[in-house]
Amino acid sequence: MKPVIETQHLSKWYGNVLGLSDVTLEIEPGITGILGPNGAGKSTFLKLITGQIKPNIGTCSVNGKKIWNNFSLFSFIGFCPEQDAFFEELTGWQFMTGLLKLHHYSPAERETKAQKALEIVELVEDKDRIIKSYSRGMRQRLKFAQAIAHDPEIIVLDEPLNGLDPLGRRKIIRLIKSYKGEGRTIMVSSHVLPEIEAMTKRIILIHQGKIFAQGDIHYIRDLIETHPHIISIKCSDPRLLASNFIQEDFILNVKFSSQENTLLVETNNRDKFFSLIPALSVKNNIEVEEITSPDDNLQAVFDYLVGK
Amino acid sequence: MTIKEKGYTHWEGEFLDKKFPWWPITRYGIKLTFRKKFFKLIFPLSLLPAVVFLAGIYVSERLEDFKFLFRDSVPILQIDPAYFKTYLAEGFMIFVMVIIVIFCGSGLISDDLKHNALQLYFSRPLKKRDYFLGKTAVIVFFLFLLTLVPGLIFIIMKLIFAGSFKFFLSYPWLPLSVIAYSILVTAFFSFYTLFISSLNKNRRYVAILIFGIYVGSDILREIFYDIFHNHYFSLLSIRANIQQVGAVIFDQRTPYPIHWILSLLVLIAICILAWFVLKKKVRGVEIVK
Amino acid sequence: MAQNSKGKLSFFLISLKDIYAFFFFMGKKSKKLKLFFLISIIPVVIALIIKINQFFSDRTPIQGIYIFNNMTVVMYLQFLILLLALFYGTSVCSEEVEGKTLTYLTSRPVSKSALLIGKYAAYTTLIIVLTTIGVTLSFFVMNLNDLLNFSLYKILLRDVAVLSLGLICYTSFFTFIGTIMRKSILFGLIFSFGWENVIQYFPGSTQRFAIAHYLKSLLPVPKTGRFSFLMFRLEPSPPLVSVFMILLITGVFLGLACALFSWKEYIFED
């Protein structure tokens, strides 16, 4: 498939701080997730490919054309920025129709498209309230709405699920997935792996301004699977539970925490481990109070992968 | 239950009040002001008149040596209360103060409104009074550096250069005048600046208002005086009112033939209006209508 | 090729129109415009006070048109239009950068030049309307007993035209300043109330480095009297030259602002 977005040795500095380093990528139609911890360079990358900032080195093109100062490309690009900023004194409706006006639609078209977009994000009832009075979730949904209102072929979403409640997240994820079937190109950035996982299998991992992994999510998952995880279990009889654990080969380490009745277990197979706990607790009549994963975060995964 | 007593774990000890809870606000405000590139140029320039006047005090003690600079032995460098009034209470110095408060004061409250920081302030053991004190102290710091500090240094250096206390014995009330005038002008500009800063979240707009109201009040005075030839229109001008009161503090003739009490009342009225508006505008919760 | 250029030009003009409409609507709604409107009405209040005083006074009243002319210069030309142009001119770019709303505009199929010029035009229109209302009301109040003297209306038209030219020119200059500097207000204040006020009193060609010189050249020099100090040392340029220079300055600064805005990247402060 012909790539829609291409970057060649893309690099960006902010003074002495390296935002992005030597990124060469080809993005094809479909959903591509950009995953990375905070400060990894996701927003920088998305701003570069949407022409909001210009690269210090390298090139970035959309449909074979350079994006910087090429405003004609924005007819089919929709961008949902990360920052929470609006024309606060406008209502949601005025905001939507005003921005659609800049796409040179007729008044009737503007109203239709604005109405459709607001319906999708469920803001129709609040469309005549000023944006200043919107909640965090409503503002996020409005940002999403302005990105999709003009039916763009390419949609770039920078942390679109920030500030949304679980129901809102599910709806947006479902919507994004529906775009894939329409042949659009969607780029979504996030620092939460399960969010990206729910939308797409194609992931680009970015860390400290560099792309250090890209491809199918299963590949990433496999890497993570082999990454030893530490799980903390608070139960009525940690020593009994520990004695059962150490018999399994996927348990690498067992430690007793300084906290009362808490066990720290290191495993390289989370799925097997979690399916074992209920069986053991029932067999030995152990009450399990709490299970947490102190290193179950993207930073830990990244640290592991970078170290690999 | 006060904010200090709230918490997930109960503190068995005594709740101690910090002596100056407003100090971190002041320290941060001063730091922020000095970070501005333009300010690093403007502030030293604003101290230039003080250097010139200090040089004048030096020359006044060495008039014989500098006689060649003056055609006649006109005592143009007489160091008296009028000299202090010329430095502290003339239009130029008041204008410089306005420029300085634009830098240090325009964003004091407007930036907090813009970033919704008031909730952060008032969810800490900080009273509204401490908040205002902290913000005011930023303006006081810079204006005292322009008024009180140079004024007192002039007196001290005059005594040192003269080598006697004659000057002090001739005008023993002068240090009090310098202090009183500095407090008056600083208090007024603090209220004025914080009041305008609380009106809007946009600090550019606030800066324009601070400057525009000051200059506009003077223009109004000029227009009305030119039409009606009535000196009472001087009460419309912020600069004229400050100069009226300043002249009285330094025991000089007032520039306008109206009672200085009226000018003082106008300045106090502005401060009271500012206080009422500030009390209403600065609160922990924003109400969106 | 010619058709391509024609197409680009018409697209540019359509974009300009849409942006103008968007920002004109937004500017009209804003609270700041209401406050500036109140400020621009102050001369009307002054005019009312003067007129009421004249009505009750025994003294021979000063000619209304004389007061009107001089109030136009003192209140509008040397103060209000500078403040309005400074605020709205610097806002063209700074407002979007400080408010982080620039992204919404630069991710639309409109050129950056059209964005800048469209917003500049919208804001300039608003402040010209504001000023015209204030000046016209002052005129009517000051010349209440002489409204049937149609020759006076020429003076009103002239003053409105001069103030409008002043707003167009100053706003373009401050738009340029707002594009290059983050903190443009203080520079603007020093320029408006420092440079513009002081330099025009310099003899010879030095005066020609102030926009105010060309604006005052379009107004009659008052004979000796109270307000003649405002025109002291003015060596006026011919009217056509003055208008040409004002339009040239406007064009140059707008052009520079467009070029800079298109070339520069704006990184939002976190």
Q: How close does chain A come to C112, measured CA to CA in Å?
A: 8
- Provide the residue count of chain A: 308
Neighbours of A118 (CB within 10 A): 21
Can you tell me the ipTM of this complex? 0.87
Quote the pLDDT of residue C21.
95
Q: How close does chain C come to A127, measured CA to CA in Å?
A: 17
Q: Do C91 and B204 touch (CB under 8 A)?
A: yes
Quote the pLDDT of residue B68.
65
Instruction: Identify the band that residue A168 occupies on the pLDDT scale cut at 50, 70 and 90.
Output: confident
Q: How close does chain A come to C199, measured CA to CA in Å?
A: 39
Cβ proximity of A230 and A273 under 8 Å: no
Q: Do B224 and C32 touch (CB under 8 A)?
A: no
Quote the pLDDT of residue A230.
85
**For C59-91, what is each residue's pLDDT tens digit?**
666 777 888 888 888 889 989 999 999 999 999
- CA torsion angle for B56, B61, B66, B67 (degrees, to 10)? 110
Q: Do C112 and A71 touch (CB under 8 A)?
A: yes
Q: With contacts defined as CB-CB under 8 Å, which chain A residues touch B288?
A: 130, 132-133
The residues of A whose Cβ lies within 8 A of any Cβ of C are 14, 50-54, 69, 71-75, 77-79, 81, 83, 85-87, 89-90, 94, 98-99, 101-104, 146
| In the predicted structure, residue C22 carries a pLDDT above the cut 90 | yes
Tokens of A274: 């979690």
The counts of H helices and E strands in chain C are 11, 0
**For A172-225, what is each residue's pLDDT tens digit?**
898 888 887 888 999 999 988 788 888 888 889 898 888 878 888 777 666 666
Coil, strand, or helix at residue B63?
coil
- Provide the residue count of chain C: 270
CATH topology classification for A5-223: Rossmann fold (3.40.50)
- CA-based nearest residue in chain A for residue C8: A72
Q: Do A101 and C18 touch (CB under 8 A)?
A: yes
Which tops the pLDDT comparison, B57 or B19?
A: B57
Tokens of B2: 């006060």
Quote the pLDDT of residue B66.
62
Instruction: Identify the band that residue B74 occupies on the pLDDT scale cut at 50, 70 and 90.
Output: low
Q: How close does chain C come to A184, measured CA to CA in Å?
A: 18
Sheet harboring A229-235: ordered strands across? Answer: A251-256, A262-267, A229-235, A288-292
Q: Do C186 and B42 touch (CB under 8 A)?
A: yes
> Mean pLDDT lowest for which of A53-67, A109-123, B221-235, C195-209?
C195-209
Most confident of B7-21, C124-138, C175-189: C124-138
Contacts of B278 (CB under 8 A, 6+ apart): B109, B132, B191, B194, B195, B198
> Mean pLDDT lowest for which of A19-23, A98-102, B25-29, C204-208?
C204-208
**For A59-78, what is each residue's pLDDT tens digit?**
999 999 999 989 999 999 99
Nearest to A265, CA basis, from A236, A281, A243: A243
DSSP line for chain A = ---SEEEEEEEEEETTEEEEEEEEEEE-SEEEEEE--TTSSHHHHHHHHTTSS--SEEEEEETTEE-TT-GGGGGGEEEE-SS----TTSBHHHHHHHHHHTTT--HHHHHHHHHHHHHHTT-STTTTSBGGG--HHHHHHHHHHHHHTT--SEEEEESTTTT--HHHHHHHHHHHHHHHTTT-EEEEEES-HHHHHHH-SEEEEEETTEEEEEEEHHHHHHHHHHS-EEEEEEES-HHHHHHHHTTSTTEEEEEE-SSTTEEEEEES-HHHHHHHHHHHHHHTTPPEEEEE-TT-SHHHHHHHHHH-
Q: How close does chain A come to B117, measured CA to CA in Å?
A: 16
Tally C-beta pairs within 8 A across A and C. 75
Q: With contacts defined as CB-CB under 8 Å, which chain C residues touch A69?
A: 112, 262
| In the predicted structure, residue A270 carries a pLDDT above the cut 90 | no
Quote the pLDDT of residue C199.
79
Between the alpha carbon of residue A223 and those of residues A31, A110, A216, A227, A308, the distances in Å are 21, 47, 11, 6, 9
Q: With contacts defined as CB-CB under 8 Å, which chain C residues touch A86?
A: 101
Q: CB-based contact (8 Å) between C83 and chain B?
A: yes
Q: Which chains touch A (3 or more CB pairs under 8 A)?
A: B, C
| In the predicted structure, residue A86 carries a pLDDT above the cut 90 | yes
Would you say domain A228-307 falls under CATH 3.30.200.20? no
Q: CB-based contact (8 Å) between A132 and chain B?
A: yes
Interface mutation vs chain C, best among A54, A87, A100, most C CBs within 10 Å: A87
**For B54-71, what is each residue's pLDDT tens digit?**
999 988 887 666 666 655
Residue type, B245: V
Q: With contacts defined as CB-CB under 8 Å, which chain A residues touch C99?
A: 85, 87
Which tops the pLDDT comparison, B74 or A183?
A: A183
Coil, strand, or helix at residue C132?
helix
Quote the pLDDT of residue C92.
95
Distance (Å, rounded) from C-alpha B168 to C-alpha C207? Answer: 48
- CA-based nearest residue in chain A for residue B287: A133
**Spans of all domains in chain A:** 5-223, 228-307
Q: Do C25 and A94 touch (CB under 8 A)?
A: yes
Can you tell me the mean pLDDT for A47-66? 93
Can you tell me the mean pLDDT for C10-26? 94
| Per-residue b or e along A193-227, where b marks 16 or more CB atoms closer than 10 Å to that residue's CB | bebbbbbbbbbbbbbebbbebbeebeebeeebeeb
Quote the pLDDT of residue C252.
97
